Amino acid sequence: MSLVKLSSNKKTITKRIVRKKVKRVELEGPIEDRVVKWARSKGIEVTKMNLRGRRSWPDRCFWIEGGRPVLIEFKRPGEGPNPNQAAIIAKLKELGYIVEVFDDSDEAINFLVGSMPLCS
- For 27-64, the pLDDT digits (tens) are 889 999 999 999 999 999 999 988 777 889 999 999 99
Q: Give the chain's domain count.
A: 1
Task: Assess if residue 75 is contained within a domain.
Answer: yes
**Residue 44 belongs to some domain of the structure:** yes
Rg of the chain on CA atoms, in Å: 23
Q: Does 29 reside within a domain?
A: yes
The whole-model pTM stands at: 0.75
Q: Is residue 91 part of a domain?
A: yes
Answer whether residue 102 is part of any domain. Answer: yes
In a domain? residue 88: yes
CATH number at residue 29: 3.40.1350.10
Long-range contacts of 23-28, Cβ-Cβ distance < 8 Å, separation of 24 or more: 25/76, 25/77, 26/76, 26/77, 27/76, 28/59, 28/74, 28/75, 28/76, 28/103
Helix H or strand E segment including 37: helix 28-41
**Domain range spanning residue 49?**
25-115
Can you tell me the distance from the alpha carbon of 111 to that of 49, in angstroms, rounded to the nearest whole number?
A: 19
